[in-house]
């Protein structure tokens, strides 16, 4: 029960942060529409583009109401998830599931997964779908959390997603400097402290000179994470590697998600960390499993001695 409360509260905090970010001044003008919504249209397939255009034009027609509505709804979800009452936090979870799905498909353009430049390194499959994944886990029976079964389920989800990320990274464009680091260079030009943008720019140039090896490294890292989670293998050095990897791409490839004045969420690494940490701390109680076996063996030995 305590672990369920902890992860539910952390998800609630993320929703609160998202709601507050939606209240940034730049969100109420054309800057958010042009830099975020219109940018999501780039490279989308023909069947999805009209749906997104309709969604974005509806938002642009009423930017004040749209921003305030999204902000207050996300803050409400966060508050509900932080409440101790099961009735209210369950309602918050269902709102999180529904709103997160809508944001992922209509707001994030399906996380860019249908585009040719979808990469887990730069933010695919989108934060919202990871919110949905964690919400779905929180909606499973509490007994699953108490028994540790939820850790095994989370591990399968995380492992499968990282293998998908490794597969996406095998696209030929990512083996060329332009395709690999152009998103990073675009981030470096957004409004932010110069010390951050300069580091991003320099790292992008450096990695671009050896784009083949860089992309191979990305593939190996994500595939390694995927295999480790599917095998339920979590040594200490792997946990440290996960933290370093997530922080590195959060900074250098995603600009921490909140800089520039139009960030709607901290991007994927924080929610990735919540999902990836679940199998570490929420796993079947091995002592409880082994206790009956040990008791049976002691009984057998006593009977044999008699």
Handedness of CA 99, 102, 105, 106 (dihedral sign): negative
What are the structure tokens assigned to 135, written together?
């919400």
CB 120 within 8 A of CB 165: yes
pTM for the whole structure: 0.89
Q: What is the pLDDT of residue 11?
A: 98
Q: What is the 3-state secondary structure of 189-237?
A: CCCCCHHHHHHHHHHHHHHHCCHHHHHHHHHHHHHHHHHHHHCCCCCHH
d(CA 41, CA 33): 11
Q: What is the pLDDT of residue 285?
A: 58
CB 174 within 8 A of CB 215: yes
Handedness of CA 194, 199, 205, 208 (dihedral sign): negative
Q: What is the pLDDT of residue 293?
A: 40
Domain that holds residue 257: 2-283
Task: Please report whether residue 302 resides in a domain.
Answer: no
Task: Please report whether residue 278 resides in a domain.
Answer: yes
User: Among residues 141, 179, 118, which one has the least CA distance to residue 4?
Assistant: 141
Domain count, the chain: 1
Neighbour tally for 287: CB within 10 Å = 8
Task: Please report whether residue 300 resides in a domain.
Answer: no
Task: Please report whether residue 212 resides in a domain.
Answer: yes
Handedness of CA 81, 83, 84, 89 (dihedral sign): negative
Q: What is the pLDDT of residue 271?
A: 97
Using alpha carbons only, what angle is made at residue 122 by residues 97 and 185, rounded to the nearest 5 degrees?
140
* Chain centroid, CA 9 distance in Å: 16
Task: Please report whether residue 277 resides in a domain.
Answer: yes
Task: Please report whether residue 168 resides in a domain.
Answer: yes
CB 4 within 8 A of CB 142: yes
Q: What is the 3-state secondary structure of the chain?
A: CHHHHHHHHHHHHHHHHHHHHCCCHHHHCHHHHHHHHHHHHCCCCCCCHHHHHHHHHHHHHCHHHHHHHHHHHHHHHHHHHHCCCHHHHHHHHHHHHHHHHHHHHHHCCHHHCCCCCCCHHHCCCCHHHHHHHHHHHHCCCHHHHHHCHHHHHHHHHHHHHHHHHHHHCCCHHHHCHHHHHHHHHHHHCCCCCHHHHHHHHHHHHHHHCCHHHHHHHHHHHHHHHHHHHHCCCCCHHHHHHHHHHHHHHHHHCCCCCCCCCCCCCCCHHHHHHHHHHHHHHCCCCHHHHHHHHHHHHHHHHHHHHC
Task: Please report whether residue 72 resides in a domain.
Answer: yes
| Total residue length of the chain | 306
Task: Please report whether residue 22 resides in a domain.
Answer: yes
Could you read off the pLDDT tens digit of each residue along the chain, which spans 306 residues?
789 999 999 999 999 999 999 999 989 888 888 888 888 898 899 999 999 999 999 999 999 999 999 999 999 999 999 999 999 999 999 999 999 999 999 999 999 999 988 999 988 999 999 999 999 999 999 999 999 999 999 999 999 999 999 999 998 888 887 777 777 666 666 666 677 777 777 777 777 788 888 889 999 999 999 999 999 999 999 999 999 999 999 988 888 877 777 889 999 999 999 999 999 998 775 444 434 444 555 545 554 555
């Amino acid at each position: 029960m305590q672990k369920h409360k902890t992860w539910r509260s952390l998800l609630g905090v993320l929703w609160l942060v998202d709601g507050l970010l939606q209240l940034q001044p730049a969100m109420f003008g054309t800057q958010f529409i042009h830099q975020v919504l219109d940018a999501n249209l780039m490279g989308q397939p023909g069947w999805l583009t009209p749906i997104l255009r309709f969604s974005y034009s509806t938002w642009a027609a009423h930017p004040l109401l749209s921003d305030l509505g999204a902000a207050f709804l996300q803050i409400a979800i966060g508050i509900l998830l932080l409440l101790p009452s099961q009735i209210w936090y369950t309602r918050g979870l269902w709102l999180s599931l529904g709103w997160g799905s809508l944001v992922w498909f209509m707001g994030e353009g399906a996380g860019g997964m249908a585009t040719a430049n979808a990469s887990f390194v730069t933010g695919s499959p989108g934060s919202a779908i990871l919110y949905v994944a964690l919400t779905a886990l929180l909606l499973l029976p509490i007994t699953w959390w108490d028994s540790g079964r939820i850790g095994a389920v989370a591990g399968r989800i995380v492992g499968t997603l990282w293998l998908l990320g490794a597969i996406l990274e095998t696209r030929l464009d990512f083996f060329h400097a332009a395709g690999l680091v152009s998103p990073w260079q675009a981030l470096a030009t957004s409004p932010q402290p110069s010390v951050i943008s300069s580091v991003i720019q320099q790292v992008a140039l450096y990695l671009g000179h050896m784009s083949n090896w860089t992309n191979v490294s990305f593939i190996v890292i994500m595939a390694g994470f995927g295999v480790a989670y599917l095998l339920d293998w979590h040594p200490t050095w792997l946990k440290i590697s996960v933290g370093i990897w997530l922080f590195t791409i959060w900074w250098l490839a995603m600009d921490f998600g909140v800089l520039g004045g139009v960030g709607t969420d901290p991007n994927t690494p924080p929610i990735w960390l919540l999902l990836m940490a679940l199998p570490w701390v929420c796993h079947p109680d091995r002592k409880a499993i082994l206790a009956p076996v040990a008791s049976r063996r002691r009984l057998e030995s006593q009977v044999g001695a008699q």
